[in-house]
Structure 1
Amino acid sequence: MTRLSAVGAGMIPLCDGAWLLKGFLLKYEQALLQNLERLTEHSPFRHMVTPGGYRMSVSMTNCGPRGWVTDERGYRYSETDPVTGRAWPDMPALFSQLAQQAASEAGYSDFCPDACLINRYVPGAKLSLHQDKDEQDFTHPIVSFSLGLPATFDFGGRTRRAPVTPYMLEHGDVVVWGGPSRLFYHGIRALKKGHHAQMGSQRINLTFRCAH
């Protein structure tokens, strides 16, 4: 893999096994946004429903061999988009390269994601505290990209009641967590109104995982 240059990135430790990489994506923002536009033409954003019947405020889509979905049957990974009936669009090489490099910078050198969940937040949308636990192998980290409006990321602990620490995620930031923090609870507070020069009044989050 050709090593990409992440100009301006600074690493902030969150806890054992977790890092915030400030500005890691900024050099590649235009290419990332162009790829996103193509992906969402193939598999558009949609508001999924939880097994309990709750319509999520965040709209979602996926790319890669497997996509994360939720409906009345539960949370799971699927090789096909239930909206289009087709395979999810391929994960762009730039996405996987940047995700792998970010993981490597955080100490996870063998990360090779096969799933990328793409979340779209508009003002008021949020994601309550949860664990990423639908994957089969927890030895692989989670890599999360932030684009667009800033958002408050709550990073907790092994239980839902563990204290949380808020972090401001800005356009171009990446969070990586794994190892002892792999199953820590985390969430995004309700997005505040605002306007981003590149993306308008929205935030896009890409979460890379090894589903299998």
Structure 2
Amino acid sequence: MDLFGEAAPPRDIRGVIVHPGLLDRAAQEALVRDVRTLVEAAPLFRPETRRGQKMSVRMTSAGSVGWVSDRRGYRYEPQHPAGVPWPAIPRSVLAIWDEVAGVDRQPDTCLVNFYDADAKMGMHQDRDEADLRWPVVSISLGDEALFRIGNEERGGRTQSLWLRSGDVAVLGGEGRMLHHGIDRIRAGSSDLLAGGGRLNLTLRVAGA
């Protein structure tokens, strides 16, 4: 497919399959344009935890449902917090799912997280979906991020790697329920995004 460049062989890290450099520069730029259109329809917002703490990332979603978090908890909702419908998942993003997910079902949501230089994401499991057998596909754009992979149970030894712009990771099979997070952003490591920062697009099957 023209979307994909000459990527290095996939790496299996504790069951998480990482495709280094899967997306070439032109594909990355096209994705950024599509994400900008998406954000115009559903602006980025800063979620808060159940304890009322604001997260350091800003986010939005696309698809039939989107992920939200507030004092009521983590969940999927059919509308943006502003009361508008989520936009459709861009075709360019769905093409990546088709390439790497290895399943015949399409995702029904795409989370968009924006990390500035100081943002991070604590160790967590993706477990708000109705059927946890479906994979999660994560796309990195912009500045490099230190991605840490743990275990199904919280704690224990972890393994880290730098995710670079154009890398795609798949959490499926034995890697689906591993704890994972972003420890820090390497500011200025990419010139893809005007003003810097990192975009992470996460495709999921939220419904049953």
TM-score range, shorter chain: over 0.9
- Tell me which of 176, 186, 193 is aligned to 1:192: 186
The answer to whether the aligner puts 1:119 opposite 2:113 as a matched pair is yes
| Contact 1:100 1:111 survives alignment (8 Å) | no
**TM-score (normalised: structure 1):** 0.92
Aligned residue number for residue 197 of structure 2 = 202
Inter-CA distance 86–6: structure 2 relative to 1 (3 Å threshold): same
The residue correspondences of 1:16-165 to structure 2 (distance < 5 A) are 16=15, 18-26=16-24, 27-83=26-82, 85-103=83-101, 108-165=102-159
Alignment length (residue pairs): 204
Runs of 4+ in 1 over 2 A off after TM superposition: 108-111
Q: Distance in 2 between matches of 1:59 and 1:82?
A: 13
Name the SS of the counterpart of 1:97 in structure 2. Answer: helix
Identity %: 37
- Deviation, structure 1 residue 176: 0.3
| Contact 2:39 2:60 survives alignment (8 Å) | yes
| Contact 1:152 1:169 survives alignment (8 Å) | yes
- Deviation, structure 1 residue 111: 4.2
**TM-score (normalised: structure 2):** 0.93
| Contact 2:64 2:88 survives alignment (8 Å) | yes
CA-to-partner distance for each residue in 1:120-178, whole Å, 9 max, x for gaps? 00011000000000001111101000000001000111111031100110000000011
- Deviation, structure 1 residue 5: 4.8
- Deviation, structure 1 residue 112: 1.3
Structure 1: any 5+ residue segments left out of the alignment?
Answer: none
Q: Distance in 2 between matches of 1:160 and 1:175?
A: 21
